[in-house]
Amino acid sequence: MRMYDLIEKKKHGQELSQDEIAWMIRGFVDEEIPDYQMAAMLMAIYFQGMTDRETAELTMEMAGSGDMVDLSPIQGVKADKHSTGGVGDKTTLVIVPIVAANGVKVAKMSGRGLGHTGGTIDKLESIPGFQTAIPREEFFQIVNRTGAAVIGQSGNLVPADKKLYALRDVTATVDSIPLIASSIMSKKIAAGSNAIVLDVKTGSGAFMKTLEDSIRLAEKMVAIGTHAGRDCCALITDMDVPLGHAVGNSLEMQESIEVLKGRGPADLTEVCIDLAANMLYMAKAGTIEECTKLAEDSIADGRGLKALKDMVESQGGDGSYIDHPEKFHQAPYSMEVKADEAGFISHMDTEAIGIVSVMLGAGRSRKEDPIDHSAGLILRKKYGDPVQPGDVLAVLRTSDQKLLPGAVKKLKAAYRISREKGAEKKLVYARVTRDGIERF
Ligand code: URA
């Protein structure tokens, strides 16, 4: 087989066979197929798509490209969640401790920032000492002891996705249904949990911009998960507006701690409670109403916060940052962006806001780039808020002063102000299970 021929085939919209997909993934992982040919294939898939059969076979081939984790050394039901990625999407940092605080184990493998979206591993690494590369046995011990651990895609877990993810991030090939579905589900299947909740984002800051595309992605992922024998559901949640106020790694850590203290932004808190409740429900911890109450109670009584601190300390992080989030290093340069006119915030280009955060240093433009954990922005005004001229829309933070002017210009263009207040937006649009779609 020749990669050239497979690229040519996909470029013309033809289906790849199971043997071709297997050959391509193995060759790429073994470094026999170079990045430039795989980049061309990714772009061909981006434009031509894949059938359900191709997507399912790609997923299973990717999942099997490295170790398939056997979580049986961890006692009890193991739950996992994965987001398709958003701006200010720090839900994992809140949900994982809430679920662990209610007796369901979470042995989670998370990613780094991708495109304009942030990644949980980058956020957790803003805590001094926090280790995201932990040997398998120790990872299991931590989960058995503290209920949860979040590690990076280290070792030999889904090496195909590790390589593809980094390549997609820098070749503008992220927002493709078969590529997202296979990336997420290969990791979830290889990571071994029994119960999986997918957070499929929709709107201007999501990879899927429309509700119908998001539902199609959710259906594809739930079908793949179910076929692989997992209890799997998806919530379609809003990403037309950034979640919470903070965007950027350590800023998002601070905001997540606020949510667990019961003082977080209402939108972020509500989405976290819904996702945590669904994880508990999929792990058979009660009815959905009981699981929602469990999630709410673990914020109110501080059990979620304690579980976060336990997890951070067991992974080598400095737990005093959880008690005193003001200790997070603050970027030395900041600039306020102000409104020029009066009205209501009628649109936020959330993808552009994610790009502003990357421009300030919080994300990567090339896969080997280092990141500035303290960079990012705090949104002072969000969709629907009234504004007067001179009101601060957002505060930008960075360690590199010369990045500010370009970021300010882009952020200003990301806000639209109108005389009329726009319609209320939902936070959760639908729930997709193997039995169908429930719209809210
Ligand atoms: N998250 C992933 O893990 N993969 C994607 O492709 C998109 C979001």
Residue ID of nearest Cα to ligand 1 atom 8: 84
Query: What confidence tier does 367 reach under pLDDT thresholds 50, 70, 90?
Result: low
Please check whether residue 61 lies inside any domain of the structure. Answer: no
Q: Answer whether residue 57 is part of any domain.
A: no
Q: What is the mean pLDDT of residues 427-438?
A: 96
331 lines ligand 1 (CB under 6 A): no
CA of 438 to the centre of ligand 1 (A): 24
What phi-psi label fits residue 240: left (phi over 0), alpha (psi between -120 and 50 degrees) or beta?
alpha
Residue 351's CATH number: 3.90.1170.30
Neighbours of 69 (CB within 10 A): 21
Same domain assignment for residues 172 and 284:
yes
Copy the structure tokens of residue 125.
């690494």
Those residues with Cβ within 8 angstroms of residue 1's Cβ, 6 or more apart along the chain or in another chain: 19, 20, 23
Same domain? 266 vs 375: no
**What DSSP element (H or E) covers 81?**
strand 79-83
Query: Where residue 14 sits, what CATH number does that domain have?
Result: 1.20.970.10
Q: Is 217 in the pocket of ligand 1 (CB under 6 A)?
A: no
Q: Is 184 in the pocket of ligand 1 (CB under 6 A)?
A: yes
pLDDT score at 370: 86
Q: Measured from the CA of 117, which atom of ligand 1 is nearest?
A: 8
With respect to residue 372, please indicate whether it lies within any of the assigned structural domains. yes
Whether 188 and 304 share a structural domain: yes
Among 225-229, 336-340, 405-409, which stretch is predicted with the lowest mean pLDDT? 225-229
Residue 276 and residue 136 in one domain: yes
pLDDT of 118 reads 83
Same domain, 109 and 216: yes
Tell me, in angstroms, the distance from the centre of ligand 1 to residue 183's CA: 6
The residue type at 62: M
**Ligand 1 contact via 152 beta carbon (within 6 Å):** no
Residue 181 shares a structural domain with residue 303? yes
What is the pLDDT confidence band of residue 260, given thresholds at 50, 70 and 90? very high
Residue 339 counted as domain residue: yes
Q: Are residues 250 and 362 in the same domain?
A: no
| pLDDT digit string, tens, across residues 157-216 | 899 999 998 899 889 999 899 999 999 999 999 988 889 999 999 999 998 999 999 999
Q: Among all chains, which residue has been given the structure tokens 């030395």?
A: 332
Distance 181 CA to ligand 1 centre (A): 8
Q: Is residue 382 part of a domain?
A: yes
Q: Are residues 309 and 406 in the same domain?
A: no
Say if 74 falls within a structural domain: no
Q: Are residues 45 and 152 in the same domain?
A: no
Question: Do 224 and 351 belong to one domain?
Answer: no
Does the Cβ of 178 fall within 6 Å of ligand 1? Answer: no
Q: Residue 376 in contact with residue 247, Cβ under 8 Å? A: yes
pLDDT for 415 equals: 97
Residue 117 confidence (pLDDT) above 90: no
- pLDDT at 392 > cutoff 90: yes
- Do 83 and 224 lie in one domain? The reply is yes
Catalytic residues: 82, 161, 168, 183, 187
Cα(132) to centroid of ligand 1, in Å? 18
**What is the domain range of residue 15?**
3-49
Number of domains making up the chain: 3
Which of 82-86, 94-98, 104-108 is least confident?
A: 82-86
Token pair, residue 236, equals 């379609």
pLDDT of 46 above 80: yes
Of the two residues 370 and 427, the one the predictor is more confident about is 427
Of ligand 1's listed atoms, the one at least distance from the Cα of 207 is 7
Q: Are residues 240 and 378 in the same domain?
A: no
**What is the pLDDT, as a whole number, of residue 366?**
72
**Average pLDDT of 400-423?**
96
